[in-house]
Structure 1
Amino acid sequence: MNVLMIDSPPLFVAGVADVLWKRDNNWHVWAAQHPEDIYRLRDSLPPGTLAAVTIEWDDHAAQVGWPKVLRDALGAVPWLFVVRTLCRQAIADALLTGAAGIVERHASADEFADALGRVAAGAIYVPASYGIGAQAERPHGQAGDERSFERLTPRQREVLRLLAEGKSNKQICRVLNVAEGTIKNHLYALFRQIGVSNRTEAALWLARHVAADASRAQSASFVDVHG
């Protein structure tokens, strides 16, 4: 599996490459510092062989516009934000930008490898200490109810997914071809349903739901194959 690491110091790239190779010698790590590096790597690898990307996320990376570069060059290949300081706002910003996960720069080698493996497998990764699937981190009430998502209407689910992509109310209106007042009503209803009070909390809630579903699906697949 090929992993691309953007803007990471060479020593850090070498360390990650060593850890991944020791886990599975089919892992290969590439490095990039500039957008043109992405296109050169894309053209040099067989299609579909790049499994995940990490980005050292800071103000400079935001100015470069790496998310847009990655979407244009690599399509649906998932990326993982690497940050120096992790907090709930950083998690929300990462998810709303389109990242498949976020990990701290000083995370252990095993945690870093686990994060990469999870996003490469199609899951959303947030460090366990921030409550993905943990009852202690869920607000009391409906937000902790695993059936809350299923109780949303199909339109509310669409609105929630578009919101989590970072779209504004007006952009959601254009996508769904409805009035802005209708979107506001949907947001009010779904916020009450899942037990959150704003857009950031809603995006985090959806990330928890997707991560939990992915974990259950992977467990079920393991049982089907090995049971």
Structure 2
Amino acid sequence: MNFGGFQGEVPMAKELTPRQKQVVRLLSLGCTVREVAKILKLSPSTVDNHKSAAMARLGTDKVALLTRWAIKLGISPLNDRLTEREKRLSGRKNDGWND
């Protein structure tokens, strides 16, 4: 099956844990692992573990494809932005869209 340029079985967002979905969403919005860790109050290695597990479940080893999955599966809609709280916690002055 071809799913938006992806070959094979279509993964389901429900297969990701709630924490993996949070990590995927923030990464898809351009946050670094370190920024995600600050926002979620986790260690960078824990965030990296969630990222790796999500990527394995979705069958990709590229963050760009992880972002495409986040959009396709509704984890991060196209109009999604970092909240003011997320910007503050990450140390960002903006969300990357309004530079």
TM-score over 0.5 for the alignment? yes
CA, structure 1 residues 205+179, in 2 after alignment: closer, same or farther (shift >3 Å)? same
In structure 1, give the amino acid aligned to 2:6. R
> Identity rate of aligned residues, in percent?
23
Give CA deviations for 1:167-201 in whole Å, capped at 9, x if unaligned: 00000000001111101111110001111111111
Whether 1:172 aligns to 2:32 is no
Distance 1:136 1:206, change over 3 A: closer
Structure number with greater CO (CA < 8 Å, separation at least 6) is 2
1:1-227 paired onto structure 2 within 5 Å: 135=3, 137-141=5-9, 144-145=10-11, 148-210=12-74
Would you identify which runs of 4 or more consecutive aligned residues in structure 1 move more than 4 Å? Answer: none
5+ unaligned residues in a row in structure 2: which ranges? 78-99
Residues 139 and 195, structure 1, Cα contact 8 Å, conserved in 2 = no
Give the Cα separation in 2 of the matches to 1:204 and 1:165.
11
Give the 3-state SS of the residue equivalent to 2:8 in structure 1.
Answer: coil
Q: Cα 1:158–1:137, aligned 2, differ >3 Å: closer, same or farther?
A: same
Cα root mean square deviation, aligned: 2.1
Structure 1 gaps of 5+ residues are 1-133, 214-227
**Structure whose residues are more often helix by fraction:** 1
After TM superposition, give the deviation of residue 137 of structure 1 in Å. 2.2
Give the TM-score of the pair, scaled to structure 2: 0.67
The count of corresponding residues between Structure 1 and Structure 2 is 75
TM-score (normalizing by structure 1): 0.31
Greater per-residue strand proportion: 1
